[in-house]
Amino acid sequence: MVLFLEDFYSNKNTKKYLFKPQTWCYTILIMEKQVLNYRVIIEKETYPDGTLVYTAYVPTLGVTDYGPTIDAVLQSLKDGILLAIESLAKDSEEVPVDHPEETIIVNTQVVLPKKVSLNTT
């Protein structure tokens, strides 16, 4: 919560951080934080030179980043998410909201027929 106080007896708007009820009128501006949850997909990759990196992707916003550790990529990704949201808001565009608690993510396995060969390089 941010509290700005206006000098009641003058025409000047002054920001005060002391509250004296008998001398000051006050306006309370509540700065509410909104918390948005986004689904993040992280994949481990190894570059041809052997360097290990983690690539993270937020499908709802189309934000992707990478880093040397999961913690590093998540921190960097949060910055990217905030930048995307601020950019959308600045352009008066709708900010997509994800509902990961309503999402079911599963893995499945398939057996390939012998006639199918994969190039795994």
pLDDT at 25 over 70: no
Long-range contacts of 98-104 (CB under 8 A, 24+ apart): 98/36, 98/37, 98/38, 98/39, 98/58, 98/60, 99/37, 100/37, 100/38, 100/39, 101/37, 103/39
Q: Helix (H, G, I), strand (E, B), or coil: what is residue 10?
A: coil
Average pLDDT in the chain: 77
- Look at residue 100 in the predicted model and tell me its pLDDT: 79
Domain range annotation of the chain? 1-32, 41-102
30: left (phi over 0), alpha (psi -120 to 50) or beta: beta
pTM of structure: 0.61
- Going by pLDDT thresholds of 50, 70 and 90, the confidence category of residue 118 is confident
- For 95-113, write each residue's pLDDT tens digit: 998 887 888 888 899 998 9
- Look at residue 69 in the predicted model and tell me its pLDDT: 94
- For 69-91, write each residue's pLDDT tens digit: 999 999 999 999 999 999 998 99
For 36-46, what is the mean pLDDT?
Answer: 90
